[in-house]
Amino acid sequence: MYLYAIVFLLSAVLTILFTPPARRLALRLGAIDRPSKRKIHKKIISRFGGLSLFLSFVVSMAAGLILARQFGVNISEKDVTTLFGVIFGGGVIVLLGLFDDLKGMPPAVKLAGQIVASGVAVYFGAQIIFVSTPFSKLMMLGAVAPLVTIIWMVAITNAMNLIDGLDGLAAGIAVISGIALFIVAIRTGQTDSALLLAALTGASMGFLRYNFFPATIFLGDSGSLFLGFMLASASVVGVLKSTLLIALIVPIAVLGIPIYDTAAAIIRRAVSGRPIFEADKKHIHHRLLKAGFNQREVVMIIYFACVILSAAALAATAFDNYPALILLSVFVVLGILALDMAKNLLRNLAFLNGRSK
């Protein structure tokens, strides 16, 4: 555990050190987020958060791989190759995001870039080769494994990108999700995934120093896409290697809020006949803001929901497949309902308060 603690702390400290220069560079190059009707913030904010995250992550990962043998942590050459592919793919994602933060990019081009980055990781070995089902011990994916993996990685990458709408929201979700997935990786002996998650969680924690409300720098597309890509990759190289049915469900539960928000956005836009990639102000955080919560309260409510789902996922790993599946399904539903209940409760209180006046 000492190795992971060192990697976590190194990544956090480096992010704290690298973020101010990244902020100044963004201002100099014009990579800024201006206030608008669709935006929540009221002043110009830098958008190069992904740059400091990526640099910190790469340095801490390199240090972790160098120190691994000294701390008795065994990471095979095959796993190192896979990690290299994931880092390389993450670099593609960050470059894609930086260009979008600076110049803007059509959604189709951005999606193509995400597919390429995912393909790089898959090529180097990050694949969902099999899954467990309630009906058989293992279901080998065979030739469709690369396609399934790319779909998973692109989906989670975009889920984190879409949830990044308030100060500290996406970075905080990455911290909570990273800790939960790290615990599962340690339990299942997935040292490669655990190392990746220690570096990613540390970088995310360090970035919150500048990104929590009131933020002085945003993740930008470079940061939110990077976080999503790495969380998806970590679940592929670690948690999804387990033969337990619950291994397939754990990442979905841990990342339940971003996944739910993305699915709701796609359905909402498809039903209304609008382009899927068209931005709107009907995400979870927008609805909670409209209900009367302030930014800090909304972020803390969503954090709490993520903690509940992550705790449920971790608790479920102690049970056999069927009870775990049932338990997680219940908690996922309750976690999503809790958001709407909180929103409706505040709305009712505001109504009663208005009548009393």
The residue-averaged pLDDT of 2-18 equals 97
Find all residues with CB under 8 Å of 262, minimum gap 6, and list them: 155, 158, 159, 162, 163
pLDDT at 346 over 60: no
The three-state DSSP-derived secondary structure of the chain is CHHHHHHHHHHHHHHHHHHHHHHHHHHHHCCEECCCCCCCCCCCEECCHHHHHHHHHHHHHHHHHHHCHHHCCCCCHHHHHHHHHHHHHHHHHHHHHHHHHHHCCCHHHHHHHHHHHHHHHHHCCCCCCEECCCCCCCEECHHHHHHHHHHHHHHHHHHHHHHCCCCCHHHHHHHHHHHHHHHHHHHCCCHHHHHHHHHHHHHHHHHHHHHCCCCCECCHHHHHHHHHHHHHHHHHHCHHHCCCCHHHHHHHHHCHHHHHHHHHHHHHHHHCCCCCCCCCCCCHHHHHHHHCCCHHHHHHHHHHHHHHHHHHHHHHCCCCHHHHHHHHHHHHHHHHHHHHHHHHHHHHHHHHHHHHC
The residue-averaged pLDDT of 73-97 equals 94
Percent of the chain's residues with pLDDT above 70: 80
Query: Please, which residues bridge with residue 33 across strands?
Result: 45
Q: Indicate the pLDDT class of residue 229, thresholds 50, 70 and 90.
A: very high
- The whole-angstrom distance between residue 250's C-alpha and the CA centroid of its chain comes to 14
When mean pLDDT is compared over 121-135, 182-196, 237-251, the highest value belongs to 182-196
Residue 153 has what pLDDT? 94
**Domain limits at 144?**
2-356
How many domains does the chain divide into? Answer: 1
Q: Are 195 and 61 in contact (CB under 8 A)?
A: yes
Q: Indicate the pLDDT class of residue 355, thresholds 50, 70 and 90.
A: very low
Residue 37 has what pLDDT? 63
The residue-averaged pLDDT of 30-35 equals 81
Asked which of 26-30, 43-47, 53-57, 287-291 is least confident by mean pLDDT, the reply is 287-291
Return d(Cα 3, Cα 328) in angstroms, integer.
31
Asked which of 186-200, 227-241, 342-356 is least confident by mean pLDDT, the reply is 342-356
When mean pLDDT is compared over 36-45, 132-141, 220-229, the highest value belongs to 220-229
Structure tokens at 183: 């615990």
Residue 317 has what pLDDT? 72
**Mean pLDDT score across all residues of the chain:** 84
pLDDT at 101 over 80: yes
pLDDT at 202 over 60: yes
Residue 307 has what pLDDT? 87
User: ω before 275 within 30° of 0 (cis)?
Assistant: no
Residue 129 has what pLDDT? 81
**Digit-coded pLDDT (tens) for 237-281:** 876 665 445 556 678 778 878 888 888 888 887 777 777 777 777
**Digit-coded pLDDT (tens) for 156-182:** 999 999 888 889 999 999 999 999 999
The residue-averaged pLDDT of 3-14 equals 97
**Digit-coded pLDDT (tens) for 288-330:** 787 777 888 889 988 988 888 888 778 777 665 555 555 555 6
The residue-averaged pLDDT of 111-132 equals 90
Return d(Cα 276, Cα 346) in angstroms, integer.
30
